[in-house]
């Protein structure tokens, strides 16, 4: 029917929508990403794409205004440039659409940048972290998105005598998981390399935060990719140490984890605040959202911190000519143990200057 120019597009896997304004492709769409909503768009004959959110009464009015030469977008294709998409129309025409590239400094990948190890800050001790750090989570350029919205089914706490260093949010296998903030993908590793985390992504953000996304059925970004908040990065699953489909989501600063519920209200799909003051005692597994700072401080003193930098642990910096075998021998351990400690494979190519945990 010629007069149909209002179409309903629900991109189940990409949640992509178009906007004509200067904010660009994703700029105005962020909220839509957050609610994973259905997107209505109008198309008319001069390739102008106008986003509207109105309901059906308005459809009638618009019907009078446009009638002929309507092109309906039928598909969106990726190009070699991840910031450029091709939109295909049903009349055989197409156009390029540029996505605003996130503004991420290169320097973000200079420090502790290891794409083969989930935890790259193992040599940073908790005692060396500042007592307090102020993190700006969003500003006029950098936005946010709930990675997956739903009730938290398991909190940041000691669980089954082990620290559970993130939150679990139940989902269905295949549900889209989104980048929480703009950043660079540091780790995109399969279950065989990460054990408990399953297929996991770690994204580093401009303020120094890292977000972890575990148990994915599949990830669709790779190490080094710059991603925007709200960009689809993978699909929910139950890989690794998991009893059912869920997203295991962690927030870490310099390798130390704290309760992600301090940043997001997952159930309501909101950001708690644009600025987050991260205090050192928040890194305790006994510290969680909802406590006063005094309660958090007291709780953090109750039991010894279970963090990944106990003094018993030892590290070694790889030198020229080293092999895993030589390093294992030197430290009275085995190649297998080294691989377990560092989450690496036996055939991993060692780099001079790389730090390996040996105890």
Site of interaction with Zn ion (CB under 5 A): 168, 248
Spatial CA neighbour of 197 closest among 237, 146, 254: 237
Minimum CB distance to Zn ion, residue 208 (Å): 23
Helices (H) then strands (E): counts for the chain: 7, 25
Query: CB–CB of 143/135 below 8 Å?
Result: no
Dihedral of alpha carbons 264, 199, 143, 279, sign:
positive
Query: CB–CB of 212/200 below 8 Å?
Result: yes
Minimum CB distance to Zn ion, residue 248 (Å): 3
Q: Which residue has the tokens 């075998």?
A: 325
Please state, in angstroms and rounded to a whole number, the distance separating the CA atoms of residues 233 and 14. 9
Q: Which is nearer to Zn ion, 115 or 154 (CB)?
A: 154
Q: Which is nearer to Zn ion, 191 or 354 (CB)?
A: 191
Please state, in angstroms and rounded to a whole number, the distance separating the CA atoms of residues 97 and 83. 8
Q: Which is nearer to Zn ion, 168 or 231 (CB)?
A: 168
CB within 8 Å of 247: residues ≥ 6 apart: 147, 148, 168, 169, 171, 177, 213, 214, 215, 216, 236
Minimum CB distance to Zn ion, residue 214 (Å): 7
Q: Which is nearer to Zn ion, 186 or 248 (CB)?
A: 248
Q: Which is nearer to Zn ion, 248 or 280 (CB)?
A: 248
Minimum CB distance to Zn ion, residue 211 (Å): 14
Q: Quick one: tokens of 62?
A: 């618009």
User: Looking at the DSSP assignment, which residues form a beta bridge with residue 218?
Assistant: 235
Q: Which is nearer to Zn ion, 168 or 210 (CB)?
A: 168
CB within 8 Å of 254: residues ≥ 6 apart: 121, 124, 129, 208
Please state, in angstroms and rounded to a whole number, the distance separating the CA atoms of residues 296 and 100. 40
Minimum CB distance to Zn ion, residue 268 (Å): 20
Q: Quick one: tokens of 115?
A: 């794409």
Please state, in angstroms and rounded to a whole number, the distance separating the CA atoms of residues 60 and 65. 9
Please state, in angstroms and rounded to a whole number, the distance separating the CA atoms of residues 144 and 208. 15
Q: Which is nearer to Zn ion, 183 or 214 (CB)?
A: 214
- Give the residue at shortest CB distance from Zn ion: 248
Q: Which is nearer to Zn ion, 168 or 261 (CB)?
A: 168
User: Looking at the DSSP assignment, which residues form a beta bridge with residue 249?
Assistant: 167, 213
């Amino acid at each position: 029917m010629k007069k149909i120019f209002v179409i309903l597009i629900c991109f189940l896997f990409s949640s992509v929508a178009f906007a004509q304004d200067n904010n660009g492709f994703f700029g105005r769409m962020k909220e839509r990403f957050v609610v994973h909503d259905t997107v209505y768009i109008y198309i008319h004959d001069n390739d102008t794409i106008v986003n509207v959110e109105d309901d059906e009464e308005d459809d009638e009015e618009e019907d009078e205004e446009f009638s002929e030469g309507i092109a309906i977008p039928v598909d969106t294709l990726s190009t070699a440039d991840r910031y450029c998409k091709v939109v295909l129309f049903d009349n055989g025409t197409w156009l390029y659409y540029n996505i605003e590239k996130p503004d991420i400094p290169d320097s973000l990948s200079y420090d502790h940048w290891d794409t083969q190890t989930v935890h790259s800050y193992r040599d940073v001790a908790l005692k060396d972290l500042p007592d307090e750090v102020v993190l700006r989570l969003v500003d006029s350029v950098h936005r946010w998105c709930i990675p997956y919205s739903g009730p938290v089914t398991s909190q940041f706490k000691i669980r089954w005598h082990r620290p559970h260093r993130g939150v679990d949010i139940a989902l269905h296998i295949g549900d889209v998981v989104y980048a929480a903030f703009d950043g660079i993908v540091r780790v995109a590793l399969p279950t065989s390399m990460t054990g408990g985390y399953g297929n996991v992504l770690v994204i580093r953000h401009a303020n120094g935060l890292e977000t972890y996304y575990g148990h994915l059925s599949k990830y669709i970004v790779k190490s080094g990719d710059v991603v925007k908040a709200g960009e689809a990065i993978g699909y929910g699953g139950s890989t690794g140490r998991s009893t059912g489909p869920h997203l295991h989501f962690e927030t870490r600063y310099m390798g130390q984890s704290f309760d992600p519920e301090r940043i997001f209200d997952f159930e309501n799909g909101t950001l708690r605040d644009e600025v987050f003051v991260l205090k050192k005692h928040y890194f305790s597994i006994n510290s969680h959202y909802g406590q006063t700072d005094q309660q958090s401080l007291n709780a953090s003193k109750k039991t010894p911190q279970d963090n990944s930098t106990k003094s018993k642990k030892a590290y070694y910096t790889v030198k020229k000519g080293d092999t895993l075998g030589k390093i294992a021998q030197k430290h009275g351990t085995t190649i297998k143990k080294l691989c377990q400690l560092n989450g690496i494979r036996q055939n991993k190519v060692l780099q001079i200057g790389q730090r390996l945990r040996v105890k």
